[in-house]
């Protein structure tokens, strides 16, 4: 069963409430997405740590409901 982009975004918003999030469906099949996430929670974290935070937010859905997720993460720019 594929994951809807809306469901993916909801999981990410729960974990990163301050974030600017964009979800792109790369193949139109609900299985291959790119997530662009800008969050203050990423400040001071390595790219690996940022991605680990995203995977934790997905609560085990990677490899199951969600087959592929390309991540573009960075700290949210401060005003």
Domain of 51, in residue numbers: 5-74
Tens-place pLDDT, residues 54-71: 999 998 888 888 888 999
The CATH number given to whatever domain includes residue 31 is: 3.30.300.90
- Which own/partner contact pairs does 36-41 have at CB distance under 8 Å and 24+ positions apart? 36/72, 36/73, 37/12, 37/71, 37/72, 37/73, 37/74, 38/73, 38/74, 38/75, 38/76, 38/77, 39/73, 39/75, 39/76, 40/75, 40/76, 40/78, 41/16
In a domain, 79, yes or no: no
**β-strands 68-74, 32-38 pairing:** parallel
pLDDT (tens digit per residue) in 1-55:
688 999 999 999 999 999 999 999 998 888 889 999 999 999 999 999 999 999 9
Tally of structural domains, the chain: 1
């Amino acid at each position: 069963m594929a994951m809807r982009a809306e469901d993916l975004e909801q999981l990410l918003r729960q974990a990163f409430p301050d974030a600017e999030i964009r979800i792109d469906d790369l193949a139109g099949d609900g299985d291959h997405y790119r997530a662009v996430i800008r969050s203050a929670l990423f400040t001071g974290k390595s790219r690996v740590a940022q991605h680990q935070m995203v995977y934790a937010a997905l609560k085990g859905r990677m490899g199951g409901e969600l087959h592929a997720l390309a991540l573009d993460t960075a700290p949210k720019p401060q005003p």
